[in-house]
A and B are shown apart, each in its own frame.
Chain A
């Protein structure tokens, strides 16, 4: 017998601010191989056409669909209903600006973080179209890729105690982004320059190290190691700066 599932979904529409955020129940029959992508689309198409949520790739690649599923930040598109009990609560990710129902503005958050941390390779040399590419050790390339795998879903931020109280904290995703550029030999920034970007309470020193972020990252970016790496580097850079001054 197919189960009847209840989804308790947070509703809020910024265009009708008088209606305060509230939970609304939707019921539907479970189908084999059902994911929350299927569930939410079914609800919108068959029960409430105004329901807002975000999916793009529906394949856990693009990072659009982070939300709290029974309180835990995760990607809705890869959540199978067979792993859920009969009643499931869906809430938007905290920290990010709420756009309506389950939709939050992770895009703006990540863009601001990227620009603040200047997340691009800093290198003044001109590209020479006639030259062979600069060589790189394959192990190094794979190491950069490890940090580059973040899909900006915001799950690590939504579950982070510091990010929830400190609005400018760059979060595990931000620290990981720094680590990605730190290990890249093409980025010519010095430790001191990095220190200016992340050597603060809004950067790596704000992190209290409980590692909720690491548990929540749906693609398994090694956040624990990345945070430790940046913290170590920045502690030593801070130390060197102190000694000099």
Chain B
């Protein structure tokens, strides 16, 4: 069997971003022993990169006046194109204000309401003097009120740092630079994970009463993504590979309207929220023609489609990296840009040599968020395996349905972290850990075999070439606009790549902490996720939220008001799709009030 380190814990949280850390804190507060795992030091998790902010209906600002959880609930349900679980959305909207205040109590330096003069859309904003000093909010897409709490443009950074400071305060064990490779399970219950130490390549065993997957999204399946390079969906794939845990709505992929060309770094929605415009090659502001009410701030799927539509109509700006449009924030002025939008200014200057105070920013819709993930119930319990939980972007809880509103994801991580964390703590207290050593050794051996096989160099395929082909298949065929023909092409290609991924040949020796070996271990799972996205999208013959079929441009509630569940059965070579109804409690499917269904006015724009 060889030597390996073994760790025993009450709660094993795989992933130390906001979701994982918040859930870990809740368990620790309840006296449980918790271990957090992360590929990187927790503070480098992707959550730190979120700049814009997080939604909670505090209603402290003049433009947020009258806001409450009911309004937040409705925005979220509409935003999801009625694809979400409404009981989850209700719980979320009701809890969000409490967690924002809790984060303030823990140390987040939220921007506060002040009487400083502000101009928005040509109008002067007058704050209520009674509200000065309370948590402020900014405008984000798809919301009826200004509701997005923020810290200048470092929201994710400050909230994650504060969260991690509480993790330190509670003395929670953190193991960084490790990667969970598989779950230990017997088809019914989960007992922990097989983990690889990325410092030296050794395998470790973690057994736990409850195992929690909080590994974030899979943005890097698409090469052109705003996501961090560690967002490779491995948490989703290890759950998927059990054969019994389904992934929900994997075809629901969000594209952000403003990835900067060509590095695909995100220009936060805060730029449009604070009053930035989109311009075409003629310097013309086109969004009001398509979306007269919400203009640049219709929900992300709508703005992304309008942009591509406008580019297709011949108004894109040519560049060596393909056509793009412009984002204009010049009119906000140097002071505003250099303080409230400082990170944007820095990105423009450092990565593109552009000064956004005087120049336009080249942007194009870019993969951004995964609405789909490990399907859980409202308590965060994964379908299919006992003692397994999931939350955050890795999960399909399902708050976002087919389109997530900006600011709702960071809020979800912390709200779900609190709610699901409580459930985990409650549940774990009554569990006794009873895992057979032979089960553990079987799972360990399986991973050892994979590593040995790769090191034996019996294959033919180059791991980076396969990755590039996977990225291209998704980027060209499973994007903002989708058709039967393109989706079929993606499915065919990805099936082929999946076969080829069994024959990876390392170029290096694969010893110890070799990075090529680490990637070779991930890639087959990544291709499975990619194939699942494409297969789900091909099957769904309607348009809903971010999933837009040009050959089926209407939402079809009669046939498709349901969630895709994908299973990867043991030994299978493609996903098995099933469906379940979405939960409707308060709001019957209707018109979103923006987007294709309503926008008739297209003055001045030739289609």
Q: Is A241 in contact with chain B by the CB < 8 A criterion? A: no
CB of A138 within 8 A of CB of B507, answer no
Q: Is B8 in contact with chain A by the CB < 8 A criterion? A: no
CA distance A70 to B134 in the complex (A): 47
CB of A135 within 8 A of CB of B165, answer no
Q: Is B7 in contact with chain A by the CB < 8 A criterion? A: no
CB of A50 within 8 A of CB of B508, answer yes
CA distance A127 to B25 in the complex (A): 14
- Known A-B contacts: A57-B228, A59-B263, A61-B157. Give 19 more (CB < 8 A): A33-B351, A33-B352, A49-B514, A55-B229, A56-B46, A58-B229, A62-B43, A62-B228, A63-B43, A133-B134, A136-B104, A137-B114, A138-B112, A144-B109, A145-B158, A148-B109, A151-B157, A152-B41, A152-B43
Considering the complex, which residues of chain A in the window 89-119 have a beta carbon less than 8 Å from any beta carbon of chain B? Answer: 99-100, 106-108, 110-111, 114-115, 118-119
CA distance A121 to B107 in the complex (A): 6
Interface bits B37-75 vs A (CB < 8 Å: 1, else 0): 000110111101100000000000000000000000000
Q: Is B522 in contact with chain A by the CB < 8 A criterion? A: no
A62-B512 contact, Cβ under 8 Å, with A107-B40, A127-B102 = no
CB of B169 within 8 A of CB of A120, answer yes
Interface bits A120-140 vs B (CB < 8 Å: 1, else 0): 110100010101111111110
**What 3 A-B pairs are tightest by C-beta distance, nearest first?**
A107-B41, A135-B133, A120-B165
A141-B107 contact, Cβ under 8 Å, with A100-B513, A151-B157 = no
**Partner pick for B40 among A52, A64, A114, CB 8 A cutoff:** A64
Binds A, one of B289-297, B342-350, B481-489: B342-350
**Partner pick for A45 among B133, B151, B464, CB 8 A cutoff:** B464
Q: Is B161 in contact with chain A by the CB < 8 A criterion? A: yes
Q: Is B335 in contact with chain A by the CB < 8 A criterion? A: no
Considering the complex, which residues of chain B in the window 458-501 have a beta carbon less than 8 Å from any beta carbon of chain A? Answer: 464
Q: Is B176 in contact with chain A by the CB < 8 A criterion? A: yes
CB of A138 within 8 A of CB of B347, answer no
10 A-B contact pairs sorted by A residue (CB < 8 Å) = A56-B40, A60-B346, A62-B48, A62-B49, A80-B351, A133-B135, A136-B104, A141-B110, A148-B158, A148-B161
A107-B351 contact, Cβ under 8 Å, with A15-B511, A152-B43 = no
CB of A127 within 8 A of CB of B49, answer no
Q: Is B605 in contact with chain A by the CB < 8 A criterion? A: no
Q: Is A142 in contact with chain B by the CB < 8 A criterion? A: yes
Question: Does more than half of chain A's interface fall in helix, strand or loop, or is it mixed?
Answer: loop
Interface centre among A57, A118, A219 (most CB of B within 10 A): A57
Interface bits B94-105 vs A (CB < 8 Å: 1, else 0): 000010111011
CB of A50 within 8 A of CB of B514, answer yes
CA distance A155 to B352 in the complex (A): 23
A-B contacts at CB below 8 angstroms, number: 185
Closest to A186 in B: B107
Chain B residues contacting A131 (CB-CB under 8 Å) are 101
**Partner pick for B229 among A52, A56, A135, A148, CB 8 A cutoff:** A56
Q: Is A224 in contact with chain B by the CB < 8 A criterion? A: no
CB of A133 within 8 A of CB of B104, answer yes
CA distance A108 to B43 in the complex (A): 11
Q: Is A44 in contact with chain B by the CB < 8 A criterion? A: yes
CA distance A114 to B164 in the complex (A): 10
Chain B residues contacting A144 (CB-CB under 8 Å) are 109
Chain A residues contacting B113 (CB-CB under 8 Å) are 138
Q: Is A13 in contact with chain B by the CB < 8 A criterion? A: yes
Q: Is B564 in contact with chain A by the CB < 8 A criterion? A: no
CB of B515 within 8 A of CB of A49, answer yes
CB of A121 within 8 A of CB of B165, answer yes
Q: Is A233 in contact with chain B by the CB < 8 A criterion? A: no
CB of A129 within 8 A of CB of B265, answer no
CA distance A24 to B423 in the complex (A): 53
Q: Is B506 in contact with chain A by the CB < 8 A criterion? A: yes
CB of A61 within 8 A of CB of B49, answer yes
CA distance A55 to B230 in the complex (A): 8
Q: Is B9 in contact with chain A by the CB < 8 A criterion? A: no
Closest to A101 in B: B515
CA distance A169 to B43 in the complex (A): 21
CB of B168 within 8 A of CB of A115, answer yes
Chain B residues contacting A49 (CB-CB under 8 Å) are 506-508, 514-516
Q: Is B521 in contact with chain A by the CB < 8 A criterion? A: no
CB of B44 within 8 A of CB of A56, answer yes
A138-B116 contact, Cβ under 8 Å, with A13-B512, A133-B105 = yes
Q: Is A78 in contact with chain B by the CB < 8 A criterion? A: yes
A63-B44 contact, Cβ under 8 Å, with A45-B464, A120-B165, A129-B101 = yes
Q: Is A8 in contact with chain B by the CB < 8 A criterion? A: no
A35-B48 contact, Cβ under 8 Å, with A107-B176, A133-B105, A184-B107 = no
Q: Is B579 in contact with chain A by the CB < 8 A criterion? A: no
Q: Is A72 in contact with chain B by the CB < 8 A criterion? A: no
Chain B residues contacting A160 (CB-CB under 8 Å) are none
CA distance A100 to B114 in the complex (A): 49
CB of B514 within 8 A of CB of A58, answer no
User: Smallest distance from the beta carbon of A31 to chain B beta carbons, Å?
Assistant: 10
Q: Is B177 in contact with chain A by the CB < 8 A criterion? A: yes
A135-B112 contact, Cβ under 8 Å, with A49-B516, A61-B157 = yes
CB of B168 within 8 A of CB of A114, answer yes
CB of B515 within 8 A of CB of A114, answer no
**Partner pick for A135 among B105, B132, B174, B230, CB 8 A cutoff:** B132
**Partner pick for A121 among B106, B177, B346, B350, CB 8 A cutoff:** B106
User: Smallest distance from the beta carbon of A173 to chain B beta carbons, Å?
Assistant: 12
Q: Is B320 in contact with chain A by the CB < 8 A criterion? A: yes
Chain A residues contacting B177 (CB-CB under 8 Å) are 99, 107
Interface centre among A44, A54, A120 (most CB of B within 10 A): A120
Q: Is B262 in contact with chain A by the CB < 8 A criterion? A: yes
Q: Is B136 in contact with chain A by the CB < 8 A criterion? A: yes
Closest to A64 in B: B44
Considering the complex, which residues of chain A in the window 132-178 have a beta carbon less than 8 Å from any beta carbon of chain B? Answer: 132-139, 141-142, 144-145, 148-149, 151-152
Closest to A65 in B: B44
CB of B343 within 8 A of CB of A61, answer yes
Q: Is A51 in contact with chain B by the CB < 8 A criterion? A: yes
Interface bits B120-137 vs A (CB < 8 Å: 1, else 0): 000000000000111110
User: Smallest distance from the beta carbon of B115 to chain A beta carbons, Å?
Assistant: 9
CB of B154 within 8 A of CB of A141, answer no
A149-B228 contact, Cβ under 8 Å, with A32-B320, A60-B350, A106-B41 = no
CA distance A106 to B265 in the complex (A): 24
User: Smallest distance from the beta carbon of A96 to chain B beta carbons, Å?
Assistant: 12
CB of B515 within 8 A of CB of A44, answer yes
